[in-house]
Structure 1
Amino acid sequence: MSSVKLQVEQIAKCFGPTKVLQDLDLTVQKGELLTLLGSSGSGKTTLLQIISGLLAPTSGRLLIDGKDETWTPVHKRDIGVVFQNYALFPHLTIEENVAFPLRMRQLPAAEINRKVKEALEMVELGHAAQRFPRALSGGQQQRVALARCLVYQPGIILMDEPLGALDRQLRETMQIEIKRIHRESGATIVFVTHDQEEALALSDRICLMNEGRIVQIDTPQAIYQRPRSTFVAGFIGHSNILRGEVRAGQLITKQGTFALPDKSAMQGQASLVIRPEHIRIQQPGTAALEGEICESIYAGSETRLVVALAEGTRFVVRSSGLCCEKIGDRVSLGWDVQQSLLLSA
């Protein structure tokens, strides 16, 4: 039995002369939480709308459980959607909101009551069944929206930036809740966000999109540690990038000449990527890169320093806790060359 739940095959979408999705191929496994990540205009929401049936593709096809569902009407697809704005009925209690999709499907009353109770317990809101949405916090309302989607056990759950309206602390709490609910329910979830930290925290795999194309699909660890391009390296986390030409096993740049990681057989134009946490602050004159600290940002568990190099480039350095360096100090920057990554230009 196939473990593939959803297949996107050469899906393209045009609005007039503008092609906003560029012949995409994507496979989602059963029980997987896959995140569509990208900036505004990357095509992630358009792809989600095509999967849901709210938007028709210009070309290509969509398969669910191996069956072609490209032209299946939205109400006949085995798909549930969780929106950013909750979309709860204000005049119905929490219990009635969650029961609504089951009543629309005309299930027996006893089955409805059982399923609603199970769904509310899963999102830890069984105690709030008789309340109205206005009596709940934003995070609780989002959990109700999730319960309403889970209650009829759709084959695929689509989440379109569902945490975008929440404050940071509540977002982080809800991320933990969504991971727990996903683990306990075994649901297949396609999650849309523009927040890279959210994608790293939630996903089994991340599908990073840019200008209507998929630029990399990978696990959070792989996409952070082994980006395939400087775009990915710059979008997922922060990266310091040195651009130049590889000659005789070294990278020649306007900032200087730098050693390359082992097994780097690349030639020609290339970029050396160094994550901020891999850079060490050293005494002036002891490393190839020198600059002046122009910004210091204390963030509790870490301090981020911005170092301005002589020719204008700025490097970000991340260190744990407090650091002794201050704005205006001259410093040298060093790193373990094996923790850097060489990418083709």
Structure 2
Amino acid sequence: MDIENIINEIDYYDDIDHYDDILWPDRVRLPKVYIRDAQDPFQTPIESFKIRFRFCQDSVIYITNLIRVHLQKVDNRGLPIAPEIAVLLTLRFYATASFQIVCGDLTKVSQPTASNIITKVSRLLAQLHRRYIKFPEGAEANINRELFKELGRHGRWPGLPGIEGAIDCTHVKIVSTPACEHHEVYRNRKCDFSINVQVTVGPRTEILDIVARWAGSMHDSRIFQMSALYMKYTQGMLTGRLVGDSGYPALPFVLTPIRPEPEDPPSIRYNRAQIKTRNIVERTFGIWKRRFPCLSRGLGNKLVTVSNIIVACAVLHNISLQLNDDMSFNPTQPDDEPEAMENVAANTRDGFLLRQFLIENYFQ
């Protein structure tokens, strides 16, 4: 049968592969390559699963369902990655801070694909921050204030009243030189490149507010004064108080310790209550960075992706508290000393008056 007759009879062949065999009888057919899971990771024992991904299986399904619609493809072209596999790959990266090629090998995908997945999942999780990172309202806010008061209690002396958050900053290391024109602004006082992350936490280690966009050289108090949280307090949208270290100015809504160390008993008792209340933010940093080691070992992604990863880990931290999916960690000691105060444009007089009022009425 010649080629012309075969072409004329093509419509009579239902099996196109059979037609190919007739047209090119000596052709060697290569098998198609498909991505196949060697095993189902969800069948791993729960303890081993949590060590590898920082969440139990049910929590991973819950997290996947939050962003599933944005991970699914409308067709099967290009052998798409299942949403569960994409989330597991990203969680493994957060849990190990390993090279993306290693995380990709674990799920049988290439390094570029792994990079795209981590970038996309991190962005989607970070976009959930308004839902999972926020100050409580109503009765829940009053409960938080009472819990903070109990945190600062010492013997018969009460804790600080009206506290609704503890604020501090922590550095997330950038392992490579940032790809921007003025990259030296990201070098902190320890000579490492980093992002200075402002975090406000509640009495149960929940994250209430996070700012993850400022360079490592930026001072803690300056980040606070340029944040939306500062504006909410100055405009009366939030009516409680924060506790912070000596790197923050004394304001009507920020209680700071007395420096240098006081000698009179009422001031000593105030300092003790303030430090005990503020310690919750250091404990949160320890739990947060132990659960997601990428935050302590450093990130080599693009700057925008680094910020998304930091916020995504904060969202995941709060989700773990809501789902009661905890891990037994011994919080690490704080790695950041309080920064020296700089000259800031803030009304500290009212803050000093408030602090003196509390000392005279609560700690005499």
Task: Please report the TM-score for the alignment, with normalisation by the length of structure 1.
Answer: 0.27
Which protein has the bigger strand share?
1
Select the structure of larger CA radius of gyration. 2
Return the structure number with greater relative CO, CA threshold 8 A, min gap 6: 2
Which protein has the bigger helix share?
2
